[in-house]
Structure 1
Amino acid sequence: MIALWTRRAARCVALLLALSSTACVSLSDAQRERAAQIATQARSQVIDCQTPDACAQPSPLHDLGERALADSTPAEPRHFALILDRGEDSLLARLNLLRSARSSIDLQTYIFDKDDSARFIMDELLLAARRGVRVRLLIDQLSAIADLRILGALSGAHRNLEVRIYNPSFGKAKLNYFDYAGSVICCFRRFNQRMHTKLLLVDQAVGITGGRNYQDDYYDWDAEYNFRDRDVLVAGPVAQTMASNFEAFWNAQRSVPVERLNDVGTTLLQGGVPTMPPAHFLRPQRVEAMSRDASDPVLIQQRLVDAALVVSDVKYVADLPQKHRREHGPDAAPSAPQLESLISTAQHEVLLQTPYLVMSDEAQDMFRGMHERADAPKVIVSTNSLAATDNPIVYSMSFKYKRRYLREFGFEIHEYKPFPEDAPVDYATLMPEGPPMDPPPGAVESGKPIGPSGSLGPSSGSSRASASGGGDDKGKGKDSDTAGETTRKMQRTESRPSFFSSGAGSSPVPLKRAGVRMGLHAKSMVIDGRIGVIGTHNFDPRSEKYNTESVVIIHDQAFAQALASSIRRDMSAENSWTIARRQKSPLFSGLDYSLGKVSESLPLFDLWPWRYATTYEFMPGPDCPAPLQRTDPAFMKCYRDVGDFPEVNIGPKWLYTRMLTAFGAGLVPIL
């Protein structure tokens, strides 16, 4: 009883501290109106271009939208679809479309940083507004631009530019420790309801959605860790559905104009609209090269347009902001049920790619039922290893249930390597000094990170702890073209549980080798080789219950097969390890299995040390010319056991994750 009262008292104290810390910056209605007036009156009214097309640059990528709309009828819609696998291509497509916009740009995202790629996009949005394009930028508050000077400058920059923040806790754009603590204690459910939807829509004709946010590590521009991600560009009538969904979010009660937020408003009241801080690009030559490429129609045609596929049956399925009401109808949250419906109707194969393999009870029941069918389809999963993931806590839950995934659901699981050998990236740009190498003896143990060349340096693929903090830009401010330089503290919060921290809740674990690490972030699916899905949905409980999500579903065999080829490349032996049952012990194997199963089912204390499954690596040879399925009789001859956590350097290999699986089960609903 005393302990209970102590916990309650601690919560009350934390809440009072949080509320007191925010009270001093809370604005009255009159002050908020005055701040909005300051921003509105400061906005430039000057339009740099007087032509009907707002001086838009010619773009064969933008032309896809016009061609698709011109060739479409209500009965026979026509679309172009382009899979954006390469990070730099995805950034290139965005920049080209922004410069080709003639009337409107709507951008909706979960994370918007202020590093090279994000600032590049930010400046392009300002240029578009000044030449006459209506620009609307909607960012989720949890990962919005963490700089009040920049937000204040954007609020009063131009009449054609509007910025809104979704679901701001305590009416602020930038939260501190006490804000987070107070939000978790007083408003846990609302604080975790995030707008995870990501969309760039240009002229209501061409849209991009998928896993990427606006931060360097989504475009292969980070010096330490980059996401293997995927977007899809769609041009045609479905853009109208995208526009309607964006409009619903833009006009939602939780979408607050940035100038009306307490902290941004205080900035405006105290000093007027600040000037935009100058851009200090970490690698200006790279930015300049990308800028040139984005205005080269021949290059855009060759790298992007030529790869676009003609498709007809395209759906944009997206949750509405009403999903965040306590009582909402099925129409407010259609993404999860429609995806489950697609999966459950599979006849032959489900190819699933998710960075975080944590499933809701409903999803587990569905996959268990599918596996029990006489004609059960194969379910092949591409996901992260502990060495590759950006969130070890989430991985711990995947690790906990591997027996269930393999035995009860029949999954074939492939876990992404931190240093894939055949990823869709420009290795020369990513690692100009060569591939990852083994560190000198004792270097990692001494706590000194290893640079890509093997010399002691500030950057290391063996540790991201120095680059995983909050949103404050604490980089060294040096311009450099070397991939081995630590850039800044990251505000990556894509998958973290929102507890008492204004920074990232977790960071990648240390590795044995140095280098630029990669981790899966793509969210995609292929059903029976004929239906392709790309979007923001992680197929996890958080996506189902808390976040708003969006997906593009395309019923087209050519598109589905192209997507399947991309996912299978990620699962290849060069890029992923295979999860399979470990070899049976000659003694007590049945008892071991039973005790492990019982321990796994416990809600908290899962402490049985011997796991059902482990990680294997393909060993090619004369008798093993090609990778095998884990059920093949020759599997053990062609694969070697590399342990539960290959590449990971965390002392006793299993200790860290085993602790998380033992005590972290209660986190599943919000992971």
Structure 2
Amino acid sequence: MPFPRRFPSVAALRVLAAWLVLACSACATLSPAQRERASAIAEAARSDMDTCQARNACAQASPMRQLAGRAFAQSAPGAPRHYAVILDQGTDALLARIDLLRSATTTIDVQTYIFYEDDAGRLVLEEMLAAARRGVRVRLLMDQLSALERVETLAALAGAHENLQVRVYNPVLGRARISYPQYLLAAACCWRQLNQRMHTKLFLVDGAVGITGGRNYQNAYYDWDPEYNFRDRDLLVAGPVARTMDADFLRFWNDPRSVPVEQLADVGRHLIKAGVPALPPPSYTKPERAQAMQRDAGDAALVRERLANAALPVGEVSYVADSPDKHDGNAIDGAVASVSLRELIESAREEVLLQTPYLVLSDPAQDMFRALHERKSPPRVVVSTNSLAATDAFIVYALSHKYKRRYLREFGFNIYEYKPFPADAPVDIAATGVELPDYVPTGDVQLPDHRALQREYDTRTVQGRDGYRRALSREYAALRYASRRANEPVPLKRAGVRMGMHAKSLVIDDRIGVVGTHNFDPRGDHYNTESAVVIEDAAFAEALGDSIRRDISPANSWTIAPRDKPPVLWGLDYSLGKVFEYLPVFDLWPLRYATSYEFQASPDCPQPLPPDHPGFRACYVPVGDFPEVDMVGLKGLGTRFVTAFGAGLAPIL
């Protein structure tokens, strides 16, 4: 008897049909005629309103812009002069940007990975539009996966003003925005393109003064988020190197991957169907905070006191950056930033001070650090990074946790992990908008000021709030849609304004300082374009080193060190743990080589000690692998699961 023929069910056919329709619609780009029509609609709608007839575009006098004038005046052939300002505090970084936007006389170029439509993003966008209306040419280039969220906003900007141009880099499926199903389709058809992101961040005014570093355009980067903020770092540099920055921006702007927003399928169809929408006036969640920032940016004396007076005079400055060519052929061949940073680290003789939010190293980086440690007189390597409690990317931390033994034993790292509630961070807690109580009792202790926010209650009650549902960071494009909460911090045992490390910096032998966008990770080597400012100057290196050492102080970080040896079978435990570590999956050995330690000050322990100091264990107490974290729940289990089974994700992390 023949087997009966099995036909798909009606429900299965419907699902298949829906996916086919989705695939066709998602991949449908604009025809040449549609692109031409959408561009014509946007161009016709652009205002030519000019609020200023002065040759300098009614630019505001700026102490920050004046730094560039001084630098160029003091430069000579073969002897350049620059001024550098380390922007540690988020509100200072935003103030510097607003001040410089108002100081522009000819051009403003902004290149970024994330541009979010929250208070910080709206404020910067409004100031850019105001500059365009007074005669300044403004160009905004954003990576597709983290560009402005609303197609309507992009359509409005496409036709806002003749002096404003907006482009999106490497748009997968030819769209400005992609939904979750479209993301899955892009992952299936265009995995390499999906991962090739523009992580470069550059803010450039008049080709004379630029800012680069870790910050994107979102509240969390400027101390404006009430629940989670990044401890980040930018570097403002004024002088001749800005010309190199300008040339690099133009390479991206003119690359075929940078597409005018009106030519993208979703924005173009919106323009054809409904025309250019009006850009609504900014609606701030906390208007008084935005108004205060606008007022402060108009106060030259305040800007000079807070920012310009901190400028360090330096000589030669290098801007090393990947070009879009990195996304052609073998990506590592175009990894200019990765190669340059690796050469700097290999030049170290005494100390490498490295700060990265995500401690996942590429294979070449591991080989380099292993060779460095095997030298006859190896340099000390000090690493400042996130704890699980502080990170916004628990998947990445889980893999970092997997390789702690390797980092400590084979590379000789001294690792310090940032606390979620650092006691001495350069973060403006008042700017977050959270109302600070006078105190909250904790036993017999009353915590003053911002530490009062570290309340002793379970944060699972706030996990459903909008602030936690938002993706606070999108550093990892390939994992962005892994789940709704893939990019959220893990729940903690207590609540408060949480901080997460996001700075990417490097100091070599107290003589070279680097601030940039590279996370020193495989993504930065292979997929993302990256950039960095390199300054060989002892005073600058000292200032940058002091900033990083503040972050690794006991008030702000836990120290990672080997756990106490078990009384019996220590060698067997170590060997089995090492074997499991090298397994790509099924790394199920329960005892990890290292754990977190807290410094205990006492008359016998007046100062912190490095973990390899003979007196370390007398002054530090173990506080567990994941201090402060509520490991009950999916995130806690997920962290251990990724540690055991997620090694294959390393190339895209």
Q: Give the structure-2-normalised TM-score.
A: 0.93
* AA partner of residue 37 (structure 1): A
* AA partner of residue 566 (structure 1): S
Deviation of 1:466 after TM superposition, in Å, equals 3.9
Any stretches of 5+ residues in structure 2 without a counterpart? Answer: 1-12, 444-451
Task: Indicate yes or no: 2:515 matched with 1:534.
Answer: yes
Deviation of 1:45 after TM superposition, in Å, equals 1.2
2:486 aligns to what?
Answer: 505
CA distance in 1, matches of 2:461, 2:228: 10
Contact 2:630-2:636 at 8 Å conserved across structures: no
Deviation of 1:329 after TM superposition, in Å, equals 8.5
CA distance in 1, matches of 2:472, 2:636: 28
SS at match of 1:497: helix
* AA partner of residue 360 (structure 1): S
Aligned residues: 630
SS at match of 1:213: coil
Deviation of 1:655 after TM superposition, in Å, equals 3.9
106 and 504 in structure 1: CA distance in 2 versus 1, 3 angstrom threshold: farther
Aligned residue among 611, 626, 631 for 2:612: 631
Contact 1:83-1:232 at 8 Å conserved across structures: yes
Contact 2:595-2:622 at 8 Å conserved across structures: yes
CA distance in 2, matches of 1:640, 1:633: 14
1:198 aligns to what?
Answer: 201
Contact 1:461-1:516 at 8 Å conserved across structures: no
CA distance in 2, matches of 1:254, 1:17: 26
455 and 43 in structure 1: CA distance in 2 versus 1, 3 angstrom threshold: farther
Q: Give the structure-1-normalised TM-score.
A: 0.90
Deviation of 1:657 after TM superposition, in Å, equals 2.0
SS at match of 2:367: helix
Contact 1:433-1:453 at 8 Å conserved across structures: no
357 and 323 in structure 1: CA distance in 2 versus 1, 3 angstrom threshold: same
1:657 aligns to what?
Answer: 639
Of 501-510 and 380-389, more deviation after overlay is shown by 501-510
Aligned residue among 358, 364, 372 for 1:370: 372
SS at match of 1:214: coil
Deviation of 1:609 after TM superposition, in Å, equals 0.2
Deviation of 1:438 after TM superposition, in Å, equals 8.9
Aligned residue among 44, 67, 70 for 1:67: 70
Deviation of 1:13 after TM superposition, in Å, equals 8.8
SS at match of 2:139: strand
Contact 1:392-1:508 at 8 Å conserved across structures: yes
Query: Any residues of structure 2 matched to 1:137-536 within 5 Å, and which?
Result: 137-327=140-330, 330=333, 332-430=334-432, 431-434=434-437, 465-466=463-464, 486=467, 489-490=470-471, 492-495=473-476, 497-498=478-479, 500-501=481-482, 505-536=486-517
SS at match of 2:149: coil
Task: Indicate yes or no: 2:24 matched with 1:20.
Answer: yes
464 and 261 in structure 1: CA distance in 2 versus 1, 3 angstrom threshold: farther
1:647 aligns to what?
Answer: 628
Deviation of 1:465 after TM superposition, in Å, equals 4.9
* AA partner of residue 494 (structure 2): R
Task: Indicate yes or no: 2:591 matched with 1:610.
Answer: yes
CA distance in 1, matches of 2:78, 2:306: 32
Contact 1:95-1:121 at 8 Å conserved across structures: yes
346 and 417 in structure 1: CA distance in 2 versus 1, 3 angstrom threshold: same
Deviation of 1:74 after TM superposition, in Å, equals 2.5
CA distance in 2, matches of 1:579, 1:436: 31
Contact 1:492-1:504 at 8 Å conserved across structures: no
Deviation of 1:633 after TM superposition, in Å, equals 1.9
CA distance in 1, matches of 2:156, 2:552: 45
Contact 1:439-1:512 at 8 Å conserved across structures: no
Deviation of 1:27 after TM superposition, in Å, equals 2.3
30 and 517 in structure 1: CA distance in 2 versus 1, 3 angstrom threshold: same
Deviation of 1:634 after TM superposition, in Å, equals 1.7
Deviation of 1:428 after TM superposition, in Å, equals 3.5
Deviation of 1:503 after TM superposition, in Å, equals 5.7
CA distance in 2, matches of 1:375, 1:362: 21
* CA RMSD, Structure 1 to Structure 2 (Å): 2.3
SS at match of 1:380: strand
Deviation of 1:317 after TM superposition, in Å, equals 0.2
464 and 603 in structure 1: CA distance in 2 versus 1, 3 angstrom threshold: farther
CA distance in 2, matches of 1:106, 1:93: 15
* AA partner of residue 643 (structure 1): G
Deviation of 1:498 after TM superposition, in Å, equals 3.4
* AA partner of residue 413 (structure 1): I
Contact 2:361-2:521 at 8 Å conserved across structures: yes
Query: Any residues of structure 2 matched to 1:539-550 within 5 Å, and which?
Result: 539-550=520-531
Q: Deviations over 1:340-387 (max 9, x none)?
A: 000011000000000000001111111011111111000000000000
Of 495-504 and 385-394, more deviation after overlay is shown by 495-504
Deviation of 1:418 after TM superposition, in Å, equals 0.1
Deviation of 1:403 after TM superposition, in Å, equals 0.3
Deviation of 1:15 after TM superposition, in Å, equals 7.2
1:483 aligns to what?
Answer: none
Deviation of 1:189 after TM superposition, in Å, equals 0.7
CA distance in 2, matches of 1:46, 1:412: 57
Deviation of 1:12 after TM superposition, in Å, equals 9.5
Deviation of 1:439 after TM superposition, in Å, equals 9.9
SS at match of 1:51: coil
SS at match of 2:627: coil
CA distance in 2, matches of 1:51, 1:140: 34
436 and 527 in structure 1: CA distance in 2 versus 1, 3 angstrom threshold: farther
620 and 17 in structure 1: CA distance in 2 versus 1, 3 angstrom threshold: farther
Deviation of 1:497 after TM superposition, in Å, equals 3.1
Contact 1:102-1:133 at 8 Å conserved across structures: yes
SS at match of 2:479: coil
* AA partner of residue 351 (structure 1): L
CA distance in 1, matches of 2:609, 2:275: 65
Contact 2:214-2:232 at 8 Å conserved across structures: yes
CA distance in 2, matches of 1:336, 1:183: 27
365 and 13 in structure 1: CA distance in 2 versus 1, 3 angstrom threshold: farther
Of all paired residues, the percent bearing the same amino acid is 58
SS at match of 1:573: coil
Contact 1:152-1:273 at 8 Å conserved across structures: yes
CA distance in 2, matches of 1:12, 1:529: 61
Contact 2:469-2:488 at 8 Å conserved across structures: no
Contact 1:109-1:196 at 8 Å conserved across structures: yes
Deviation of 1:505 after TM superposition, in Å, equals 3.1
